[in-house]
Amino acid sequence: MKNTIIDLRSDTVTKPTKEMLDAMFSAKVGDDVFGDDPTVKQLEEKVAKMFGKEAALFTPSGTMANQVGINVHVSPGDEVICDESSHIYNYEGGGIAFNSGASVKLIKGDRGRITAEQVLECINPDNEHFASTKLVSIENTANKGGGSCYDIKEVRRISKVCKDNKLGFHLDGARLFNALTESGDTTAETGALFDSVSICLSKGLGAPVGSVLTGSKEFIYKARRVRKKFGGGMRQVGYLAAAGIFALDNNIDRLKDDHRRAMEIGKVLEGCSFVENVLPVETNIIVFRLNDKYSDTRFLQLLEEKGILAVGFGPQTIRFVTHLDFTEEMLEDVAGVLREM
């Protein structure tokens, strides 16, 4: 077989294309901590406008976008409601506790998705024994749920519960564009339901670095101060913002190709003797469980010997993620390797 590595570990592994690099090299830049970088401003205005928000903030990572957002919403001793498998709780280094001193109430959702009824049950009474519930955060698509998407009707119900109970509502939209590609919902409809939304430019959209947090003018004013405290104020960062603008302009429509390829891999896996089950493939993430034919470490090793990289995602559980640099030819290769195992 060929010596190219097929990297299905994450959609963060993509490298900028020639066109994206050209956009980056020709970016106009300035010192963004002084508010002087026109390309960062352009990206922030673009994202705010897409979501019908007043303002936005460029951050170095999705983790920082979420953690800055959470920090603006809560004070020490407050409580955040989210699904038990959510990224903000599991994969951000305990950041809610470390950065914001807040506690978390976890919900057992359906493949990462929670309901308005579940949220309602988790809101603490106004009583000195309890942490004050201040924020609800959901993830769309839900990573650990295998790239599952929310039905916007449920998001509307949750949004109403938040309004009725004076809670903030945050969207971890690291892969929101994957979700919108499948649901057909718009960024404007989505933005209207949340107080704050974070999106990643460096996942399926293919930029090398960067995320954006969007919300009201007042929210983003506070977020800018928090970003500085967290060490995320950046200087001539328009070079990276230019990659983000390029990604938003060029790489959203093609996400459907990633989804089609993921669904094909899902189908192949359904027919493999070593597979216990495959979570329904809705977007670009494939999560499956191995039976006892191979241990998870052995399986990953066998794949690696064939030049295919993937990650373990819990006991006997494997995740593949399709992306911009995963081609039709690579799909054929992966399908062939899996069928032979």
Structure tokens at 39: 């390309």
Cβ-based nearer residue to ligand PLP, 209 or 308: 209
Question: Of 142 and 268, which has the nearer Cβ to ligand PLP?
Answer: 142
From candidates 14, 63, 85, 178, binder to ligand PLP by CB under 6 A: 63
Q: How far is the first Cα of the chain from the last one, in angstroms, to the nearest whole number?
A: 15
Contact residue for ligand PLP among 13, 21, 33, 61 (CB under 6 A):
61
The smaller minimum CB distance to ligand PLP, of residues 223 and 338, is found at 223
Please report, as residue ranges, which positions from 211 to 250 form the binding site for ligand PLP (by CB under 6 A).
Answer: 211
Closest to ligand PLP by CB, 87 or 170: 87
> What is the sign of the dihedral through the CA atoms of 63, 69, 70 and 75?
positive
Q: Which is nearer to ligand PLP, 123 or 246 (CB)?
A: 246
Shortest CB 322 distance to ligand PLP, Å: 14
**Separation of alpha carbons 94 and 87, rounded Å:** 10
Cis peptide before 141 (omega within 30 of 0): yes
Binding of residue 143 to ligand PLP (CB under 6 A)? yes
d(CA 193, CA 148) in angstroms, rounded, equals: 19
Choice between 62 and 191, CB closer to ligand PLP:
62
Residues 164-183 that bind ligand PLP (CB under 6 A): 172, 174
> Torsion angle, CA of 301/303/305/309, rounded to 10 degrees?
-90
CB of 243 to ligand PLP, least distance (A): 14
| Whether the Cβ atoms of residue 284 and residue 200 lie closer than 8 Å to each other | no
Contact letters for ligand PLP, residues 83-122 (x by CB under 6 A): ----x-----------------------------------
> Which of residues 319 and 337 has its CB atom nearest to ligand PLP in the complex?
319
Which of 62-70, 179-187, 301-309, 320-328 is the region at the interface with ligand PLP (rule: CB under 6 A)? 62-70
CA–CA dist 137, 58 (Å, integer):
20
> 156: part of which helix (H) or strand (E)?
helix 152-164
CB of 42 to ligand PLP, least distance (A): 21
User: How buried is 86 (Cβ within 10 angstroms: 0-12 exposed, 13-18 middle, 19+ buried)?
Assistant: buried
Per-position DSSP letters for 218-246, written without gaps between them: HHHHHHHHHHHHTT---SSTHHHHHHHHH
Provide the binding-site residues for ligand PLP, judged by CB under 6 A: 61-63, 66, 87, 139, 143, 172, 174, 200, 202-203, 211
